[in-house]
Amino acid sequence: MKHFLRPVPIDRAQVERLEAIATRCLDSARVRAEDGTWLFTPAGSGKYSGMYTRDFCYAVEGAGRLIPPEEIAAAIDYLLARRRDDGLMPNRVEPDGRAVYVVNESMPTLDRPPTDNAQFAVKLVDAYVDLTGDRELFLRHENALMDGMETVPLSEDGLVWIDPANPHSGYGFTDTVGKTGEVLFSSLLYWEACMVLAKMCQRAADHDGAHTWFEAAEHTARSLHEFRSDRDGMMRAALVDCRQIDLWGSAYTGVVRAVSKSQTVKIGAWLFDHYEDCFLRGCVRHLPAPERWERMLADYPAGRYQDGGYWATATGWAAMVLDRYDHDTAVMLLEDAIDLLEEQDAPEWISDTEADGLLYVASAANVLGAVKG
């Protein structure tokens, strides 16, 4: 299931620049596992070891046409073969075959599984099938994907839940943030993955599976409004700790059409009106400046990484939503991002003074996936 919002039309020359950046990131991020399988790490700079479920999903969703299909299929097989006996999907898999299910084994606050890998595994398989038409891969992994989805911690309302008394990582791109209670981004991913899984089951004539996952999606959809702020129409990151405006989550809510068309336009209008608080050189902050997260699971100085850094990972989503309100501003945001990615070797995040995590695949792939020439 592709993103519901249409990609933003830009000059073909800009798309070609993006493709060149993404190709460079992907080529530098490839590592060969001990069994010969090509894996794709999050960044070509060597900052991260192994292949992360969510990062590889973003690579295939946004830039899959730049990867040989047989390499995608082999990497998916490698990843899903290492799910835990209870169905839990790996957070990452290493070239030596080891699977890691938590964010950071050496930090007590991060030594727990995040709440998004099952959803990304579903989205990854769907992205591959969309790209290739190879439905056999889905049939091979259908039960594993369903078992993985059963491990996602849910509240009675069908929203992803993190206990405030026992905080841990949620969505991996905010895995150092102590969001608790019902959490927005992982809930959006759960709703999206339920819809994706239901449609893949439907195409495979698994009518019972399709019914199960359409019902699960509907149950979650009925409660997503709980994150919406009546005052400004933006979405809150969580309902207990970090009940703050979530720029990434608000944009993504519009992209996957988890809110109405009119609400999507309102989110685009808010981003337009608060542009200087949200964006820097085409990259997006998690929170509007100068806010910091109310609760963290790891300490970072103000303005760095997930507590004030600006990321291109979410730029495409923001641009698609802005495009529903003001096309020229959406194009400006994308062109600024392309300039940055080209000039600064596709950093993971930036601030006024630094750029970190170079040749970061999601920075290029997610922008590429949001545009058309």
pTM metric for this prediction: 0.97
Please give the residue range of the domain that contains residue 338. 8-372
Does residue 160 sit in helix, strand or coil?
A: strand
* pLDDT score recorded for residue 235: 98
Q: Helix crossing, 247-255 with 184-203: angle to 10°?
A: 20
Residue 313: inside a domain, yes or no? yes
Q: Identify whether 66 is part of a domain.
A: yes
Cβ within 8 Å of residue 44, ≥6 positions away: 24, 25, 26, 27, 28, 29, 358, 359, 361
266 lies in a domain? Answer: yes
Number of domains making up the chain: 1
Enumerate residue ranges in the chain where pLDDT < 50: none
Place of tokens 């750029």: 355
Residue 204 lies in a domain: yes
Cα 269 to chain center, whole Å? 23
Angle, helices 315-323/261-273, rounded to nearest 10 degrees: 110
Structure tokens at 39: 């894996």
Looking at residue 373, its pLDDT comes to 86
Full strand arrangement of the beta sheet holding 279-280: 279-280, 283-285, 310-311, 349-350, 355-356
Tokens at residue 187, please?
A: 């809930």
State how far the Cα of 270 lies from the Cα of 272, in Å rounded to an integer.
5
Q: Which DSSP state fits 64?
A: G
Cβ atoms of residues 22 and 359 within 8 Å: no
Instruction: Return the DSSP state at 37.
Output: -
Q: What is the CATH number of the domain that holds 118?
A: 1.50.10.10
| Three-state secondary structure readout of 161-180 | EECCCCCCCCCHHHCCECCC
Query: How many Å separate Cα 371 from the centre of its chain?
Result: 17
- Which residues have CB under 8 Å from 46's CB, separation 6+? none
**Residue 296 per-residue DSSP state:** B
CA distance 284 to 333: 10
Asked if 209 and 198 count as a contact pair (C-beta separation under 8 A), the reply is yes
Residue 2: per-residue pLDDT = 60
pLDDT of residue 71: 98
In a domain, 254, yes or no: yes
Distance of CA 121 to the CA centre of its chain: 11
